[in-house]
Structure 1
Amino acid sequence: MKDWTLFEKIWLLTFTLITIYLFFAWDDSLLGLISSVTGMLCVVLVAKGKIANYYFGIIQTGTYAYISYSYDLYGEAMLNGLFYFPIQFIGIYLWKKNQTRDSIRGEDVRVKRITAKGWYLLAAAIAVSSVLYGIFLKMIGGASPYIDSLTIVLSVTAQILMLRRYAEQWLLWIAVNVLSIVLWLITLLSQGGNDYSMLVMWTAFLCNSIYGYYNWMKLYETQEAAA
């Protein structure tokens, strides 16, 4: 971990310890603990531009899909089980083809930036898709269908930007993480349950997405300067 900053080490250790504490203090589920810890490892490695994130992502997406399904969050379950899980393998392949190597940082992925025109197209697609998918989730009896829908659509869009290595993916992840915190808070308060590690995980993801945007912008500038 020679290329890990002090902030990254403290961040990962702090949220991991909090999650483990909640597991014992609130009788949390073992599956929730596994999903939360592997999820945090995954997103930290994404923020650092490391391909190893996908290996932890395989575990996290599979466990999180099951947990979401058990709470009737069908959008979250479908997103993770049918989209995130298989896309981890695609991500490994695509990122391996676009690596850089630095004597200090080790292997990083090459970072790109999105254009203004690209943002306009994304905004329109997100708005239309969120409404349509929200209607579908409401029809099948999903909990919080429109929040769930917007979270899913933003997540899919951010994941595609991640596969394409765009730094702006992190702005969408920030929105996703805020919405996910609200979604799980509403769900746990209304349905009960003890998977509070999900709230800790999404709070950790939010902190990481802010850091991820900062770090990827630095990576982009460094790579452009070296080009």
Structure 2
Amino acid sequence: MKKIKQFLKFFTLYEKMWFLSIVFLSILFAFIFPEEETRGINGKIIMVLYLVDIFSNVACELLIAKQSKWNFIVSLLVEVTEIAICIILAYRFATLAVTLFFWIPIDIISFITWNRHKDTVNEELTVVRKLSTKQSILVVCGIVIWTVVVGYLLTKIEVEGIISDYPLIEQICCYLDACASAVGIANGVFILLRYREQWIAWYICSALETAINIMAGQWILLVLKAGYFTNTTYGYIKWTKYIAKKTVVKKLN
């Protein structure tokens, strides 16, 4: 009981209310917009995967905002769930590959890295920083090249999936998926290196995924994206304040 109380005290009232609001809305949407059978898979199974994805994602995002290394452990559940969703629905193959070969290894490496950069005052926090202008330009160029090349290759894959009945939408989704995967990779690297700009990358990735979810009729996942946008703003502000405070302290010393 004592450990539970300590765990709950770790989160502010706003953070608790934010998390519970997303959970409530996602359950409500699950009843309002039930999933139909897809490729022989019962719609209820797909809905359960969606809910697990939402609950684990919002928990992970909240822990990142609090600069907690434990977000990477929760993130592993997110990755496994999203791989299962991509396979069942036969879509977002770029995201599937990036999740399998990039995000799972980067989560493990990031956990170790963050553990080595604890704040000297509060060990529950990890020291974070910001990106230089030159680094930002290089990242943007890399994302554009990846989007064009990988997006084109994805349009050549012919697999019966959730949006295969709409060729134009499917092609658009291929490029959106490619861009989202590229921004996601940048996001993963930023998180590994503890850069504040990971929140900006997450804004962009969330916007791209919102468009894909609408095209695929995945209305319940829009609740998750609403959670992303609000928490990303919250996280960006918290990290910025932390960096500014550390900069002042460093100058005074």
TM-score normalised to structure 1 length: 0.89
Aligned length: 219
**Unaligned residue ranges in structure 2 (runs of 5+):** 1-7, 36-46, 160-169
Alpha-carbon contact 2:33-2:220 (below 8 Å) kept: no
Distance in 1 between the 2:70 and 2:189 partners?
Answer: 18
Whether 2:164 is the aligned partner of 1:135: answer no
Q: How large is the RMSD of aligned CA atoms in angstroms?
A: 1.8
User: In structure 1, which of residues 17, 24, 33 is the aligned counterpart of residue 24 of structure 2?
Assistant: 17
Correspondence 1:26-175 to 2 at 5 A: 26-27=33-34, 29-71=47-89, 72-102=91-121, 107-141=124-158, 143=170, 144-175=173-204
Higher mean displacement: 53-62 or 24-33 = 24-33
SS in 1 for 2:11: coil
Distance in 2 between the 1:70 and 1:156 partners?
Answer: 23
Deviation, 1:38, is 0.6
> Is the radius of gyration larger for structure 1 or structure 2?
2
Deviation, 1:99, is 1.1
Q: Structure 1 stretches (4+) deviating beyond 6 angstroms?
A: none
SS in 2 for 1:110: coil
Equivalent residue for 1:224? 247
Higher mean displacement: 17-26 or 107-116 = 17-26
TM-score normalised to structure 2 length: 0.81
Deviation, 1:3, is 4.2
Alpha-carbon contact 1:110-1:223 (below 8 Å) kept: no
Which gives a bigger RCO, structure 1 or 2 (Cα 8 Å, sep 6+)? 1
**Counterpart code for 1:84:** W
Alpha-carbon contact 2:203-2:229 (below 8 Å) kept: yes
Deviation, 1:127, is 1.1
